[in-house]
Chain A
Amino acid sequence: MERIIFDIAHSLAGGLVLVSFMMLYQDRLPALINIFAVQAVLLALSVAWQAYMQDAPHLYITAGIALVFKAMIIPVALHRIIKQLGIHREIEPVVGIGSTMFIGIGLVALSMVVMLRVTGHAAPVAREDLAFALSVILLGMLMMVTRRNAVGQVIGFMSLENGLVLAATGAKGMPLVVEISIAFSVLIAFIVIGIFLFRIRERFDTVDLSALDSHRGGQ
């Protein structure tokens, strides 16, 4: 019984890493948003499982936030935004898929090696969860670096944040987890609203950051 409880926790956390990989090579924004929603659902399940395992009911709140806010509200809002911005049909060339994937594999290997070696004394669930969480964080950063499009970068950041929530809930009995996940949701809402407002109310023709580079002030 003990065994299967751990296995479920691991497969959910491993699923998050897998979905992060799927995001790396998406060249269409709607597909990217859908995959992010899948990751958020997985995160919600994983957090709920942790809540059950640790007998920590307050974590169900965090799971609920992940499910309602990140898997539903944010994806719907983003779909509407990219439609309004007229970028929902565009194909965003992801440069160097092969090399990006290789770097991704390297990052996952790195986080496994580092975390498993370092956390020898910690509880086994927490330890492997932390390794998966670091992988998700690093893959999210990789995605932020490789995307030129602001919406893509935001999704990268949100997936990075999924990794953080995974780490925080995996650390047994950590205080302030719920508060921190709420704080992050506020932050994400800020970003999404920001993208929306700047396009609609101001003279912003594109949220493509390569176009923004030309507006950079004098050196």
Chain B
Amino acid sequence: MGVLNFNPVSTLLLIPLLTAPLLALLPGYKISARINVLASLATLLAASSLFFLDRPAPGNYLLVDDLNIVFIVLNTFVAFTTSVFSASYIGHELETGRLPLSYLRFYHAMYQVLLFAMNLAFVANNLGLMWVGVEVATLSTVVMVGIYRTPEALEAAWKYFILGSVGIALALFGTILVYMAAQPVVGEGNNAMLWTVLIAHVAAFDPALLNLAFVFLLLGYGTKMGLAPLHAWLPDAHAEGPTPISAVLSGLLLNVALYALLRYKLLMAANPGALAPGPLMMIMGLVSLVFAAFMLYRRRDIKRLFAYSSIEHMGIITFAFGMGGPLANFAGLLHMVMHSLTKSAIFFSVGHIAQIKGTQKIAEIRGLTQTHPLLGWGLVVGVLAIAGMPPLGIFMSEFLVVSSTIAHAPWLAVPLVVGLLVAFGALLLRLTGLAFGEPSGSTAAVKASYLPLYAHLALVLIGGVYLPPALVSWFQHVAALLG
């Protein structure tokens, strides 16, 4: 029976890991794009099976619990839809010759490596292994950001690389400090790195060492999340890489770093002597939100615009989790899901738009709803959603964040609401220019994949109107876990 035993966790890791070398070897574009989609779909199915099958007991390396299932399923779902979008996007890049065929094998292989690394970071029980997952995910996106080999793309990749490396270096130092704190209590060796062991014994750890560790972890993983003032790599990396990568960067990779931070926040909260991690996260979140909201006004590049919007939303999510409590954690989880879905949907439509118009400059794109109604209206709905317009999902989660802020810390609600309104204004201002008015640029028809775009938007709409009770109780349960 041993062979027939289906282990969803190892399947989740093995599918992308085995597909990557296969894609690196296959020459044809069509076949490798299809395999990429199929492998992503298979990974999604394996992830969904975690809901139904018995979970494996936490081991020396891997762990599945109620918290990371949410992240894994969201991650594999968006990775799957993005692979569908990527197939049509990359097809167009090949036709126009922006991307030579030889780079394409590399691109698809790296896509699966990224998927593997993100899943590894999510299911890792060993904190060192989690760090390795984040590092590999960073590296694979660095090479994809620079794949066009233009000076701009190389500069973006270089900047991302240097800042990302410093970030992961700081995170590693924090991880070492956590080990140092754990070692006198739980003994040397692997045990002192296992999250399940740490959370059981954390109350006896030296609080001063944990505090120091958390500062490094917050700075390190905060860099990877794009929190201000550590965000400098994020807009460049989003603007210069292929758009499917912008979608996974915003929708998924930022969540990986957030997840790592949440794990450490739980550790901190379980130690009575350690400083409360919440206020630090709230400050960083609020600064990112307000800063990014004002920066939105000065953007001239469409992908850069939405990159700053990602900084804004990661700020909101960090703020919500920093505040803690059942309601704010619920809002943070919901906001994270809605943001991932909406932002990747926006990048799906922006990717095709930039391809048709041959430019990413906002000023040169006008009247999209007339020339390309499906893409244009998709963008309109996406931007309205991301700006927080009811009845879409993000309005709901932002409303929950604001109302729990008013309940917990009323004076913080002022900068929060100001930030949200400023961002709202900036996005609508840019949207009217993009979507309406006299059409400009090429009006050629496009072979776009509308399915991922509208599937995401539909989910965001449903999330805003009606949340299934099963989902609500699940999220409430996870929110309670997060403290």
Q: Which residues of A contact B (CB under 8 A)?
A: 114-115, 117-122, 126, 130, 133-134, 137, 141, 144, 150, 153, 157, 160-161, 164, 167-168, 171-176, 179-180, 183, 187, 190-191, 194, 198, 202-204, 209, 212-213, 215-219
In the bound complex, CA of A200 to CA of B188 (Å): 48
**Interchain CB contact (< 8 A) of A212 among B128, B151, B239, B361:** B151
Stretch among B95-103, B173-181, B313-321 lining the A interface: B173-181
In the bound complex, CA of A204 to CA of B158 (Å): 13
Q: Which residues of A contact B209 (CB under 8 A)?
A: 118-119, 121-122
Interface size on B, residues (CB 8 A): 49
Q: Check: B335 CB closer than 8 A to any chain A CB.
A: no
Instruction: Flag if A215 contacts B155 (CB, 8 Å).
Output: yes
Given A213-B155, A217-B304, A218-B304; 20 other pairs, CB 8 A cutoff = A122-B180, A122-B206, A134-B173, A144-B166, A157-B162, A164-B176, A167-B173, A175-B189, A176-B128, A176-B132, A179-B132, A187-B165, A191-B161, A194-B161, A215-B152, A215-B155, A217-B152, A217-B239, A217-B360, A219-B299
Q: Which residues of A contact B152 (CB under 8 A)?
A: 215-217
Instruction: Flag if A174 contacts B176 (CB, 8 Å).
Output: yes
Q: Check: B154 CB closer than 8 A to any chain A CB.
A: yes
Sample (28) of A-B pairs whose CB atoms are under 8 Å apart: A118-B212, A119-B180, A120-B206, A121-B184, A122-B180, A134-B173, A141-B166, A150-B158, A157-B165, A160-B166, A161-B169, A164-B173, A174-B192, A175-B192, A180-B172, A183-B136, A187-B165, A190-B139, A194-B161, A198-B149, A212-B154, A213-B155, A215-B151, A217-B156, A217-B240, A217-B304, A219-B300, A219-B304
Interface centre among B151, B161, B189 (most CB of A within 10 A): B151
Q: Which residues of B contact A134 (CB under 8 A)?
A: 173
**Interchain CB contact (< 8 A) of B301 among A133, A175, A217:** A217
Residue of B nearest to A115 (CB): B212
Q: A137-B169, A150-B158, A183-B135 are in contact. Are A171 and B193 (CB under 8 A)?
A: no
**Interchain CB contact (< 8 A) of A219 among B162, B177, B301:** B301
**Which chain B residues numbered 350 to 368 have a C-beta less than 8 Å away from chain A?**
360-361
Instruction: Flag if A219 contacts B236 (CB, 8 Å).
Output: no
Q: Which residues of B contact A212 (CB under 8 A)?
A: 151, 154-155, 158
In the bound complex, CA of A215 to CA of B132 (Å): 32
Q: Which residues of A contact B136 (CB under 8 A)?
A: 183
Q: Check: B11 CB closer than 8 A to any chain A CB.
A: no
Q: Which residues of A contact B177 (CB under 8 A)?
A: 130
**Which chain B residues numbered 199 to 255 have a C-beta less than 8 Å away from chain A?**
206, 208-209, 211-212, 236, 239-240
**Interchain CB contact (< 8 A) of B162 among A144, A168, A213:** A144
Q: Check: B126 CB closer than 8 A to any chain A CB.
A: yes
Q: A179-B132, A190-B139, A215-B152 are in contact. Are A174 and B179 (CB under 8 A)?
A: yes
